[in-house]
Amino acid sequence: MELQTFNSTQFGELRTAEIEGKIYYCGNDVARALGYIRPRDAVALHCKGAVKHRTPTNGGVQELSFIPEGDVYRLAARSKLPQAEKFESWVFDEVLPQINHTGGYRVPQNPMEALQLMFDAQKNTDMRVTNLKEDVENRFQDLPLVGDEPEEIVSEVNAIALKLLGGKKSNAYNDKSLRSRVYQDIWHEVKHKFGVRKYKAIKRKYIPNVKAVLEAYTCPQNLLEEILAVNQQDVLCGNT
C-alpha cells in the first residue's frame, strides 16, 4: 500500500492510500480535520466502508482505519465545523483530481492539465451531489411518520379489528368495551414491536415492517373466545 501525505495550513495532515485501485483516506485525519473530539469513535460510528491497514507513523507501525469517499461525505455531513464544506472542496476539488490525473498532489504544469483537472473536479462534484441526495433520503426515512402514512396504518388496524369482531353489525363490534380491548391489543403489539409510546413516532423506513406485523397479528385466545361468545348471542336469539 503506497501512502501519500498532503498538508493544508487550515486542516493539517491528510494521509491517503490507493487500495484495490481506489483512493482511501486516513479516517482519523479526516475526522480530526472536521473537528471531531474523538476521531476514532467518529470513524467507527459513521463510516461504513472503513478498512484497517498497518501504517508507518511517528510512533511506529500502527493499524489505522482508511475510509472511501462516501465515508468522507458522511463525516463531513455530520460535522459541526463551519469549515466542513471547505474541507470537502479541498479534498475533492483539489487533492483527489490531481491524484487521479497525475498520481500525486502537485500544481498543474500546463493549460491542458489544468483543463483536465477541471473536468475531474466536475465529475467529483456530481458524485458529491449524488451522495448528498442519498444522505437526504436516508435522513428523511429516519423521520417519524408524515403525511398520509399514519392514516394508512390506522386503516389497516381498523380492517383487522373489524374482521376479528365480525363486522360493524356484530354484537362484538357494538360492545364498546370489547371493541376497545381489541383495538388496544393490536396497538400494543405494534408499539411494543417498535419500542415507541405513540405509533406516530415509528420511523418511516419501518412502514413495510409495521404492515408485516399487522398481517401476522394474532388475537389473544381469551379475547377470541369472548368475541365468539358475544356474537353467538345473535344466533341464540335468532333461534329462540
Confidence of residue 240 (pLDDT cuts 50, 70, 90): very low
Confidence of residue 230 (pLDDT cuts 50, 70, 90): very high
Evaluate whether residue 81 is within a structural domain. Answer: yes
Same domain, 135 and 184: no
- The average pLDDT across 120-126 equals 58
| Per-residue pLDDT, 133 | 65
Dihedral sign from CA coordinates of 93, 96, 100, 103? positive
Grid cell for residue 19: 487500495
Domain edge (last residue) among 142, 167, 199: 142
- The average pLDDT across 152-161 equals 92
Better-scored residue on pLDDT, 135 or 108: 135
| Per-residue pLDDT, 144 | 73
Per-residue pLDDT tens digits for 34-68:
889 899 999 999 898 899 988 888 878 888 999 98
Same domain, 162 and 202: yes
Same domain, 161 and 182: yes
The answer to whether residues 47 and 74 touch, using CB atoms and an 8 Å cutoff, is yes
Same domain, 11 and 86: yes
Task: Show the domain range for 114.
Answer: 107-142
Same domain, 98 and 8: yes
Evaluate whether residue 239 is within a structural domain. Answer: no
- The average pLDDT across 100-127 equals 54
Residue showing cell 483536465: 116
Same domain, 96 and 11: yes
Evaluate whether residue 238 is within a structural domain. Answer: no
Domain edge (last residue) among 71, 102, 133: 102
Question: How is residue 195 annotated by DSSP?
Answer: T
Burial class (CB in 10 A: 0-12, 13-18, 19+), 166: middle
Same domain, 39 and 23: yes
- The average pLDDT across 66-75 equals 87
Find the radius of gyration of the CA atoms of the chain: 29
Per-residue pLDDT tens digits for 182-222:
999 999 999 998 888 988 888 888 888 888 989 999 999 99
pTM for this entry: 0.44
Pick from 170, 179, 148, 183: which is nearest to 233 by CA? 170
Pick from 182, 160, 167, 187: which is nearest to 226 by CA? 182
Q: Which of 3-7, 99-103, 117-121, 143-147 has the lowest mean pLDDT?
A: 99-103
Per-residue pLDDT tens digits for 20-36:
878 889 999 999 998 89
Same domain, 91 and 130: no
Same domain, 118 and 173: no
Same domain, 125 and 177: no
- pLDDT higher than threshold 50 for residue 104: no
- The kind and range of the H/E element at 7 are strand 3-8
Domain count within the chain: 3
- pLDDT higher than threshold 70 for residue 14: yes
| Per-residue pLDDT, 126 | 59
CATH number for 71: 3.10.260
| Per-residue pLDDT, 134 | 65
Same domain, 225 and 153: yes
Pick from 59, 47, 61: which is nearest to 1 by CA? 61
Evaluate whether residue 121 is within a structural domain. Answer: yes
- pLDDT higher than threshold 90 for residue 158: yes
The answer to whether residues 159 and 181 touch, using CB atoms and an 8 Å cutoff, is no
Domain edge (last residue) among 125, 142, 159: 142
- pLDDT higher than threshold 80 for residue 234: no
